Amino acid sequence: MKIKMMFFLLMPALLLSSCMGEQKVKTLRLAHSLDTKHPVHEAMVILGESLSKKSGGKLKVEIYPFGQLGGERESLELLQIGSLDIAKVSAGVLENFIPEYKVFSIPYLFRDKQHTLDIYDGPVGKSILSQGEKFNLQGLTFYDAGSRSFYTKTEPINNAADLKDMKIRVMKSNMAISMVDKLGAAPTPISFGELYTALQQGVVDGAENNIPSYYTSKHFEVCKFLSIDEHTSVPDVLVIGTGTLDRLNEQEKKWLYEAVEESKYAQRILWDKSEKESLELAQESGVKVNYPDKKSFQQATKALLNTFNDDPKMKALVQSILEN
């Protein structure tokens, strides 16, 4: 019902090509769930500015932040039925639609930051982005979302055993659920927009995310312990509906791809700056930061590396990342 209501709400604006004088303007609606101070939002603003400049104002982006049009799963469903043009979603949510994205949720799959970025930009990343066409979802690019770590309300996590019996919020991702379960905690899927209240009311004892999201969402106000174990590197993905892509002519697609590429590199600079600043500001607000022993986490979750051994295609994908 929610999707149908959004569909009727957005369709008049989405199908419209407004006229300014004799100039036709196409507006692409872009939705995400983040705060406007988040570096990924800032990168999407740059995307819109670049696209408008390249097209001489003929092609524009209108951004809907804060989950105004629903959560990430709802945004993907809106893309599929053609009532939204572009969405920023986590690869962890996207894996429910496109199996290949599950590899990003395997704990400690990537050796370091450079290895992660090399995968995003290389043949493996490009192949994964293209896998959604059959689901009417075409990946445009990966935005760096850093590494995810645990944050909790009452005590720090110094090793994997400290998570035992805790209720930990996870994305609606089977891999994330499996990881938290292997660590002995109770995985609790909750949408990001509802998480602050869930933490406040004690529905969950903690969560896991990257540092800028932890800070810009104000989760640090409730969870005063940040344990940087860096268990996964789950990127954000900019996704366009294939229906929208088909309605763009070749020149418009070229402008869009170039603007997306510019925003990707700008986002990485913004991300590094935000990660550092967010950690400093969180500590200034009274957050206690610790760096737990990663080996205990790796040991507890190592079986997840073999999750896809019975699926030749997925096993080959994991192997190509490990060997890159």
State yes or no: pLDDT of 165 exceeds 70.
yes
Q: Is the pLDDT of residue 237 over 60?
A: yes
Q: Can you tell me whether residue 107 is helix, strand or coil?
A: coil
Q: pLDDT band for 112, please (50, 70, 90 cuts).
A: very high
| pLDDT band at residue 10 using 50, 70 and 90 as cut-offs | low
What stretch(es) of the chain map to CATH 3.40.190.170? 2-145+234-276, 148-233+284-323
d(CA 273, CA 287): 19
Q: For the domain 148-233+284-323, what is the CATH code?
A: 3.40.190.170
pLDDT in tens, 189-218: 998 889 999 999 999 999 999 999 999 999
By residue count, the chain amounts to 324
CB 304 within 8 A of CB 231: no
Are the C-beta atoms of residues 85 and 14 closer than 8 Å to each other? Answer: yes
Tokens of 25: 């303007």
DSSP β-ladder status, 23-31 and 17-20 = antiparallel
Q: Residue 165 in contact with residue 186, Cβ under 8 Å?
A: yes
- Is 20 a residue whose pLDDT tops 70? no
Structure confidence by residue, pLDDT tens digits, 276-306: 999 999 999 999 999 998 999 999 999 999 9
Quickly count: other Cβ atoms within 10 Å of residue 295's Cβ: 11
The strand pair at 167-170 and 186-189 is best described as parallel
Residue 172 has pLDDT above 90, yes or no: no
Render 28-53 in DSSP notation, one character per residue. Answer: EEEE--S-TTSHHHHHHHHHHHHHHH
259, 47 contact by CB (below 8 A): yes
- pLDDT score of 23: 58
- Beta-bridged to residue 63, according to DSSP, are 30
pLDDT for 130: 96
Report the pLDDT averaged over residues 103-107.
95
pLDDT confidence of residue 16: 39
Contact between 14 and 36 (Cβ < 8 Å): no
Residues 46-87 pLDDT 10s: 999 999 999 999 999 999 999 999 989 999 999 999 999 999
Is pLDDT above 50 for 32?
Answer: yes
Choose the CATH number for 2-145+234-276 among 3.40.50.2300, 3.30.230.10, 1.10.20.10, 3.40.190.170.
Answer: 3.40.190.170
In order of 21, 30, 76, 256, the CA distances from 238 in angstroms are 32, 9, 11, 12
Instruction: Tell me, yes or no, if the pTM score tops 0.95.
Output: no
